[in-house]
């Protein structure tokens, strides 16, 4: 039997993991202002971000579409093997985000020049510049923001790829299920689980949470939290994504959200929310949320709430002072 070469899939899979870091002269804003502008060699990846390079986003889209064609043409056994490889890559994205959130500096602090080494970037992804103990290039907040955007774009592309292939698998399962139905065999019922709040908590949460949403979205938010009524589009959280993720993490770990596990909660957030970082609207990804909600990383540096318990044991949520919209560099 002749096998397909899967060249497009291999190219796509490699592109997702390879980061073309470049060096350029960048102003070091850590230096005292009285010294005047000081320029040093620093990392740059603007050419591989969706905001600064339409070519990058288009190339990623084309590679993904061609990879889908490769997978569709593969026999079911090989298709499963390739899908298993993509799931391993999802784990690498999760590892990046977990390391990122664990080692990001507190608000107002600078990134150290060894930040990429500390988060094990060179061990997770391919690149041609990073070497062990190499810290002679400066790390700026702008570069880290661009790097996260590049990773987020790749992760979203991979999620779309998996969704498209999974849809194909389900079509084949339906054909098989139809055959089972003709044989009189009962089919398993698939239940999609979503977060349900302990009595009274959804209303308390909404009172705090609504302040981060435009007025036109607040009624939709209330319906989503209290009755799981899906809005037509994603609701925009007008602050940093880690604050939203941390709020839900606190609730589920305090057993104030029931009926779903953390992975299901993360999928629900991805489906219904976006957030703002550096004045740009951004989507949540599985790896980003997993790095906060499903990991043991330190708590959010700028939480929007804390969970208190009254003397009667009744749970209560307390709001924490709000920062300026989307200004937190820890995203």
Q: Give the per-residue SS3 of the chain.
A: CCCCCCHHHHHHHHHHHECCCEEEEEECCCCCHHHCCCEEEEEECHHHCCCCCHHHHHHHHHHHHHHHHHHHHCCHHHHHHHHHHHHHHHHHHHHHHHHHHHHCCCCCCCCCCCHHHHCCHHHHCECCCCCCCCCCCECCHHHHHHHHHHHHHHHHHHHHHHHHHHHHHHHHHHHHHHHHHHCCCCCCCCCCCCCEECCCHHHHHHHHHHHHCCHHHHHHHHHHHHHCCCCCCCEEECCCHHHHHHHHHHHHHCCCEECCCHHHHHHHHHHHEEEEECCEEEECCHHHHHHHHCCCCCCCCCCCEEEEECCCCCEEEEECCCCCCCCCCCC
Contacts of 331 (CB under 8 A, 6+ apart): 145, 148, 240, 241, 242, 277, 282
pLDDT at site 74? 80
Phi and psi angles of residue 275, each rounded to the nearest 5 degrees, phi first: -145, 175
pLDDT at 329: 46
pLDDT number for residue 172: 61
Model confidence pLDDT, tens digit, residues 1-57: 445 678 999 999 999 999 999 999 988 888 887 778 888 899 999 999 988 888 999
pLDDT, position 1:
42
Name the one residue in this structure whose structure tokens are 């992804």.
125
Distances (CA, A) of 10 to 15, 85, 199, 329: 9, 11, 50, 34
pLDDT (tens digit per residue) in 88-114:
899 999 999 999 998 988 777 889 889
pLDDT of residue 173: 60
Task: State the pTM of this model.
Answer: 0.79
Q: Give the pLDDT score at 167.
A: 82
The answer for 133, left when phi > 0, alpha when psi is -120 to 50, beta otherwise, is left
pLDDT at position 166, please? Answer: 81
Q: Which residues of the chain have pLDDT under 70?
A: 1-4, 131-135, 172-192, 298-299, 309-315, 322-331
- Report which of 50, 28, 47, 51 is spatially closest to residue 39, judged by C-alpha positions: 28
- Select from 241, 313, 320, 227 the least CA-distant residue to 277: 241
């Amino acid at each position: 039997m002749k096998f397909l070469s899967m060249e497009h899939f291999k190219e796509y899979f490699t592109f997702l993991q390879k980061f073309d870091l470049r060096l350029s002269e960048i102003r070091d804003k850590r230096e005292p202002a009285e010294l005047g502008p000081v320029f040093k060699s620093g990392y740059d990846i603007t050419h591989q971000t969706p905001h600064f390079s339409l070519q990058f986003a288009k190339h990623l889209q084309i590679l993904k579409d061609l990879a889908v064609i490769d997978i569709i043409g593969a026999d079911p056994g090989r298709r499963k093997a390739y899908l298993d490889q993509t799931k391993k890559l999802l784990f690498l994205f999760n590892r990046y985000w977990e390391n990122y959130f664990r080692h990001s500096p507190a608000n107002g602090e600078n990134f150290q020049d060894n930040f990429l080494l500390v988060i094990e970037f060179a061990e997770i992804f391919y690149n041609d510049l990073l070497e062990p103990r190499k810290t002679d290039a400066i790390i700026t907040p702008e570069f880290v923001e661009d790097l996260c955007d590049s990773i987020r774009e790749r992760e979203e592309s991979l999620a779309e790829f998996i969704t498209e292939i999974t849809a194909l698998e389900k079509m084949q399962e339906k054909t098989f299920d139809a055959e089972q139905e003709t044989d009189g065999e009962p089919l398993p019922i698939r239940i999609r689980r979503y977060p349900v709040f302990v009595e009274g908590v959804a209303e308390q949460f909404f009172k705090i949470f609504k302040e981060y949403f435009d007025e036109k979205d607040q009624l939709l938010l209330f319906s989503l939290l209290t009755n799981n009524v899906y809005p037509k589009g994603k609701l925009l959280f007008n602050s940093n994504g880690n604050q939203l993720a941390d709020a839900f993490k606190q609730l589920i770990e305090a057993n104030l959200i029931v009926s779903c596990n953390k992975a299901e909660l993360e999928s629900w957030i991805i489906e219904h929310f976006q957030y703002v970082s550096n004045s740009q609207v951004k989507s949540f990804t599985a790896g980003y949320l997993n790095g906060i909600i499903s990991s043991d990383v330190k708590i959010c540096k700028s939480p929007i709430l804390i969970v208190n318990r009254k003397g009667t044991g009744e749970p209560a949520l307390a709001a924490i002072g709000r920062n300026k919209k989307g200004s937190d560099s820890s995203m």
